[in-house]
Amino acid sequence: MQDILKIMQERRSVRMPFDPDRPIAEQDLRQILEAGRWAPTAHNMQNFEIIVVDDRKILEDIGNIKSTISDTFIQENYQQLSFTEEELLHKKVGLLGTMFPPSWRTPGVKPVVEEGRSRPFPVCPTLLIVLYDPGKRAPASEGDFLGIISLGCMMENLWLMANSLGINFQIISALASGSVEKEVKRILTVPEHLKIAFTVRLGYSAVAPPSYLRVRRDIEDFSHHNHFGNRGFE
Ligand SMILES: Cc1cc2nc3c(=O)[nH]c(=O)nc-3n(C[C@H](O)[C@H](O)[C@H](O)COP(=O)(O)O)c2cc1C
Protein backbone atom coordinates (compact mmCIF):
# COMPACT_ATOMS: atom_id res chain seq x y z
CA MET A 1 0.00 0.00 0.00
CA GLN A 2 2.73 2.42 0.95
CA ASP A 3 4.53 1.74 -2.31
CA ILE A 4 1.68 2.85 -4.50
CA LEU A 5 1.06 5.95 -2.39
CA LYS A 6 4.77 6.78 -2.59
CA ILE A 7 4.72 6.46 -6.40
CA MET A 8 1.68 8.77 -6.51
CA GLN A 9 3.26 11.32 -4.20
CA GLU A 10 6.53 11.30 -6.11
CA ARG A 11 4.87 11.73 -9.51
CA ARG A 12 5.54 15.28 -10.61
CA SER A 13 5.75 17.59 -13.59
CA VAL A 14 9.20 18.28 -14.98
CA ARG A 15 9.19 21.38 -17.14
CA MET A 16 12.86 21.72 -18.07
CA PRO A 17 14.45 20.64 -21.39
CA PHE A 18 15.13 16.90 -21.79
CA ASP A 19 18.28 15.55 -23.40
CA PRO A 20 17.35 15.03 -27.09
CA ASP A 21 20.22 12.55 -27.44
CA ARG A 22 18.95 10.25 -24.72
CA PRO A 23 16.03 8.34 -26.22
CA ILE A 24 13.45 6.39 -24.27
CA ALA A 25 14.23 2.66 -24.49
CA GLU A 26 11.64 0.76 -26.50
CA GLN A 27 10.80 -1.57 -23.61
CA ASP A 28 10.17 1.43 -21.33
CA LEU A 29 7.96 3.03 -23.93
CA ARG A 30 6.01 -0.21 -24.24
CA GLN A 31 5.61 -0.34 -20.43
CA ILE A 32 4.22 3.20 -20.45
CA LEU A 33 1.77 2.32 -23.23
CA GLU A 34 0.88 -0.92 -21.43
CA ALA A 35 -0.03 1.15 -18.36
CA GLY A 36 -2.24 3.33 -20.56
CA ARG A 37 -3.78 0.23 -22.09
CA TRP A 38 -5.10 -0.95 -18.74
CA ALA A 39 -6.65 2.36 -17.71
CA PRO A 40 -10.31 2.28 -16.77
CA THR A 41 -12.55 3.97 -19.36
CA ALA A 42 -16.31 4.54 -19.34
CA HIS A 43 -18.04 1.49 -20.84
CA ASN A 44 -14.53 0.19 -21.54
CA MET A 45 -14.63 2.33 -24.66
CA GLN A 46 -10.83 2.79 -24.71
CA ASN A 47 -11.53 6.08 -26.40
CA PHE A 48 -7.97 7.02 -27.30
CA GLU A 49 -5.28 6.71 -29.94
CA ILE A 50 -1.67 7.59 -29.13
CA ILE A 51 0.92 8.79 -31.64
CA VAL A 52 4.46 8.20 -30.42
CA VAL A 53 6.65 10.86 -32.01
CA ASP A 54 10.41 10.33 -31.83
CA ASP A 55 11.47 11.36 -35.33
CA ARG A 56 13.79 14.36 -34.94
CA LYS A 57 12.53 16.20 -37.97
CA ILE A 58 8.90 15.82 -36.91
CA LEU A 59 9.73 16.88 -33.34
CA GLU A 60 11.51 19.90 -34.76
CA ASP A 61 8.55 20.77 -36.99
CA ILE A 62 6.13 20.55 -34.07
CA GLY A 63 8.55 22.47 -31.84
CA ASN A 64 8.75 25.26 -34.40
CA ILE A 65 5.01 25.92 -34.43
CA LYS A 66 4.51 29.43 -33.11
CA SER A 67 2.59 29.15 -29.88
CA THR A 68 0.00 31.73 -29.08
CA ILE A 69 -1.39 32.85 -25.77
CA SER A 70 -5.01 33.89 -25.32
CA ASP A 71 -6.38 36.66 -23.12
CA THR A 72 -8.65 34.06 -21.54
CA PHE A 73 -5.61 32.02 -20.54
CA ILE A 74 -3.94 35.07 -19.00
CA GLN A 75 -7.04 36.04 -17.00
CA GLU A 76 -7.79 32.54 -15.77
CA ASN A 77 -4.12 31.72 -15.17
CA TYR A 78 -3.84 34.78 -12.94
CA GLN A 79 -6.63 33.49 -10.71
CA GLN A 80 -4.61 30.34 -9.94
CA LEU A 81 -1.35 32.07 -9.05
CA SER A 82 0.39 32.82 -5.77
CA PHE A 83 3.24 35.29 -5.69
CA THR A 84 5.17 33.99 -2.68
CA GLU A 85 5.77 30.50 -1.31
CA GLU A 86 3.98 31.57 1.89
CA GLU A 87 0.89 32.54 -0.09
CA LEU A 88 0.93 29.22 -1.94
CA LEU A 89 1.39 27.26 1.30
CA HIS A 90 -1.55 29.12 2.76
CA LYS A 91 -3.82 28.67 -0.28
CA LYS A 92 -2.78 25.00 -0.83
CA VAL A 93 -3.98 25.16 -4.46
CA GLY A 94 -2.60 26.63 -7.66
CA LEU A 95 0.86 27.48 -8.85
CA LEU A 96 3.69 29.90 -8.13
CA GLY A 97 3.49 32.93 -10.43
CA THR A 98 7.24 32.82 -11.02
CA MET A 99 6.69 29.78 -13.25
CA PHE A 100 5.38 32.16 -15.88
CA PRO A 101 6.99 35.12 -17.68
CA PRO A 102 6.02 38.48 -16.07
CA SER A 103 3.58 39.50 -18.80
CA TRP A 104 1.69 36.21 -18.45
CA ARG A 105 1.00 36.82 -14.80
CA THR A 106 -0.09 40.43 -14.80
CA PRO A 107 -3.71 41.18 -15.64
CA GLY A 108 -4.16 44.10 -17.99
CA VAL A 109 -0.67 43.73 -19.47
CA LYS A 110 -0.55 42.46 -23.04
CA PRO A 111 1.15 39.05 -22.91
CA VAL A 112 4.47 38.97 -24.71
CA VAL A 113 5.72 35.68 -26.11
CA GLU A 114 9.44 36.29 -25.71
CA GLU A 115 11.98 34.96 -28.19
CA GLY A 116 13.01 31.49 -27.04
CA ARG A 117 9.66 31.07 -25.31
CA SER A 118 7.69 31.03 -28.52
CA ARG A 119 8.22 27.26 -28.85
CA PRO A 120 5.22 25.41 -27.50
CA PHE A 121 7.42 23.14 -25.33
CA PRO A 122 11.05 22.59 -24.33
CA VAL A 123 13.13 20.08 -26.28
CA CYS A 124 12.61 16.33 -25.73
CA PRO A 125 13.32 13.00 -27.48
CA THR A 126 9.71 11.74 -27.46
CA LEU A 127 6.21 13.13 -27.50
CA LEU A 128 3.01 11.18 -27.00
CA ILE A 129 0.09 12.81 -28.77
CA VAL A 130 -3.17 11.50 -27.31
CA LEU A 131 -6.20 11.71 -29.60
CA TYR A 132 -9.87 11.06 -29.14
CA ASP A 133 -13.03 11.29 -31.22
CA PRO A 134 -15.24 14.15 -29.99
CA GLY A 135 -17.97 12.86 -32.31
CA LYS A 136 -18.47 9.82 -30.05
CA ARG A 137 -19.55 9.79 -26.46
CA ALA A 138 -19.85 7.40 -23.58
CA PRO A 139 -23.50 6.28 -23.46
CA ALA A 140 -25.82 9.14 -22.44
CA SER A 141 -22.87 11.18 -21.19
CA GLU A 142 -23.56 14.84 -21.81
CA GLY A 143 -20.58 16.54 -23.42
CA ASP A 144 -18.88 13.11 -23.19
CA PHE A 145 -17.99 14.03 -19.63
CA LEU A 146 -17.38 10.35 -18.83
CA GLY A 147 -15.21 9.89 -21.91
CA ILE A 148 -13.08 12.86 -20.94
CA ILE A 149 -12.68 11.58 -17.38
CA SER A 150 -11.53 8.32 -19.00
CA LEU A 151 -8.77 10.17 -20.86
CA GLY A 152 -7.65 11.55 -17.51
CA CYS A 153 -7.47 8.05 -16.05
CA MET A 154 -5.30 7.03 -18.98
CA MET A 155 -3.09 10.08 -18.52
CA GLU A 156 -2.48 9.19 -14.88
CA ASN A 157 -1.55 5.60 -15.74
CA LEU A 158 1.01 6.82 -18.30
CA TRP A 159 2.40 9.31 -15.81
CA LEU A 160 2.76 6.90 -12.87
CA MET A 161 4.48 4.33 -15.04
CA ALA A 162 6.88 6.88 -16.57
CA ASN A 163 7.79 8.22 -13.14
CA SER A 164 8.30 4.77 -11.70
CA LEU A 165 10.72 4.07 -14.60
CA GLY A 166 12.62 7.27 -13.75
CA ILE A 167 11.43 9.00 -16.93
CA ASN A 168 10.55 12.70 -16.70
CA PHE A 169 7.06 13.67 -17.83
CA GLN A 170 5.25 16.89 -18.64
CA ILE A 171 1.74 17.42 -19.92
CA ILE A 172 1.54 20.01 -22.67
CA SER A 173 -1.96 21.39 -23.16
CA ALA A 174 -0.94 24.05 -25.66
CA LEU A 175 -0.99 21.67 -28.64
CA ALA A 176 -4.62 20.74 -28.11
CA SER A 177 -6.41 23.82 -29.35
CA GLY A 178 -6.64 26.56 -31.97
CA SER A 179 -4.22 26.99 -34.82
CA VAL A 180 -1.48 25.02 -33.01
CA GLU A 181 -3.63 21.89 -32.88
CA LYS A 182 -4.50 22.33 -36.54
CA GLU A 183 -0.83 22.49 -37.47
CA VAL A 184 0.15 19.48 -35.33
CA LYS A 185 -2.66 17.47 -36.92
CA ARG A 186 -1.43 18.48 -40.36
CA ILE A 187 2.16 17.45 -39.58
CA LEU A 188 1.07 14.10 -38.14
CA THR A 189 -1.62 13.45 -40.79
CA VAL A 190 -4.28 13.02 -38.11
CA PRO A 191 -7.77 12.37 -39.55
CA GLU A 192 -9.97 15.45 -39.42
CA HIS A 193 -12.56 13.94 -37.05
CA LEU A 194 -10.05 13.29 -34.25
CA LYS A 195 -9.01 15.87 -31.66
CA ILE A 196 -5.84 16.16 -29.62
CA ALA A 197 -6.72 15.57 -25.97
CA PHE A 198 -3.27 16.25 -24.54
CA THR A 199 0.39 15.81 -25.30
CA VAL A 200 3.05 14.22 -23.10
CA ARG A 201 6.68 15.25 -23.18
CA LEU A 202 8.94 12.37 -22.15
CA GLY A 203 12.66 12.26 -21.51
CA TYR A 204 15.59 12.62 -19.17
CA SER A 205 16.84 15.99 -18.02
CA ALA A 206 20.60 16.46 -18.28
CA VAL A 207 20.74 17.73 -14.68
CA ALA A 208 18.52 16.73 -11.78
CA PRO A 209 15.23 18.63 -12.04
CA PRO A 210 15.06 21.39 -9.43
CA SER A 211 12.65 20.73 -6.62
CA TYR A 212 9.76 23.15 -6.34
CA LEU A 213 7.04 23.74 -3.82
CA ARG A 214 4.17 21.30 -4.42
CA VAL A 215 1.08 21.90 -2.35
CA ARG A 216 -2.16 20.02 -1.84
CA ARG A 217 -5.24 20.64 0.27
CA ASP A 218 -5.46 18.53 3.42
CA ILE A 219 -7.96 15.66 3.48
CA GLU A 220 -10.14 17.66 5.88
CA ASP A 221 -10.31 20.49 3.34
CA PHE A 222 -12.13 18.45 0.69
CA SER A 223 -13.79 15.57 2.53
CA HIS A 224 -17.27 15.68 4.02
CA HIS A 225 -18.74 13.07 6.34
CA ASN A 226 -22.28 11.95 5.46
CA HIS A 227 -23.48 15.52 4.81
CA PHE A 228 -21.86 18.22 2.76
CA GLY A 229 -20.14 20.58 5.18
CA ASN A 230 -19.41 17.93 7.85
CA ARG A 231 -15.68 18.18 7.45
CA GLY A 232 -13.36 15.21 7.77
CA PHE A 233 -14.06 11.81 9.34
CA GLU A 234 -13.40 12.52 13.03
C1 LIG B 1 -5.36 18.03 -17.66
C2 LIG B 1 -4.00 18.60 -17.27
C3 LIG B 1 -3.41 19.56 -18.07
C4 LIG B 1 -2.15 20.07 -17.73
N5 LIG B 1 -1.51 20.94 -18.58
C6 LIG B 1 -0.24 21.31 -18.33
C7 LIG B 1 0.50 22.11 -19.24
O8 LIG B 1 0.01 22.50 -20.30
N9 LIG B 1 1.78 22.44 -18.93
C10 LIG B 1 2.37 22.01 -17.76
O11 LIG B 1 3.53 22.32 -17.54
N12 LIG B 1 1.68 21.25 -16.87
C13 LIG B 1 0.41 20.89 -17.12
N14 LIG B 1 -0.27 20.10 -16.23
C15 LIG B 1 0.39 19.71 -14.98
C16 LIG B 1 -0.19 20.43 -13.76
O17 LIG B 1 0.13 21.81 -13.81
C18 LIG B 1 0.43 19.77 -12.54
O19 LIG B 1 0.05 18.41 -12.51
C20 LIG B 1 0.00 20.43 -11.23
O21 LIG B 1 0.47 21.76 -11.18
C22 LIG B 1 0.53 19.67 -10.03
O23 LIG B 1 1.94 19.59 -10.08
P24 LIG B 1 2.68 18.17 -10.09
O25 LIG B 1 2.32 17.48 -11.38
O26 LIG B 1 4.14 18.48 -10.05
O27 LIG B 1 2.19 17.42 -8.90
C28 LIG B 1 -1.51 19.61 -16.55
C29 LIG B 1 -2.12 18.64 -15.76
C30 LIG B 1 -3.34 18.12 -16.12
C31 LIG B 1 -3.96 17.03 -15.26
Strand order in the sheet with 195-203: 49-53, 126-132, 195-203, 168-172
The alpha carbon of 35 and the centre of ligand 1 are apart by a number of angstroms equal to 19
Q: What pLDDT does 204 receive? A: 98
Q: What pLDDT does 100 receive? A: 85
Interval 155-184: pLDDT, tens: 999 999 999 999 999 999 999 999 999 999
- Cα–Cα distance measured from residue 28 to residue 47, given in angstroms and rounded to the nearest whole number: 23
Interval 131-158: pLDDT, tens: 999 999 999 999 999 999 999 999 999 9
Mutate to test the pocket of ligand 1, among 163, 169, 173, 216 (most ligand atoms within 8 A of CB): 173
Residue nearest to atom 20 of ligand 1 (CA): 13
- Cα–Cα distance measured from residue 200 to residue 53, given in angstroms and rounded to the nearest whole number: 10
Interval 59-70: pLDDT, tens: 999 999 988 777
Instruction: Count the neighbouring beta carbons within 10 Å of the beta carbon of residue 104.
Output: 20
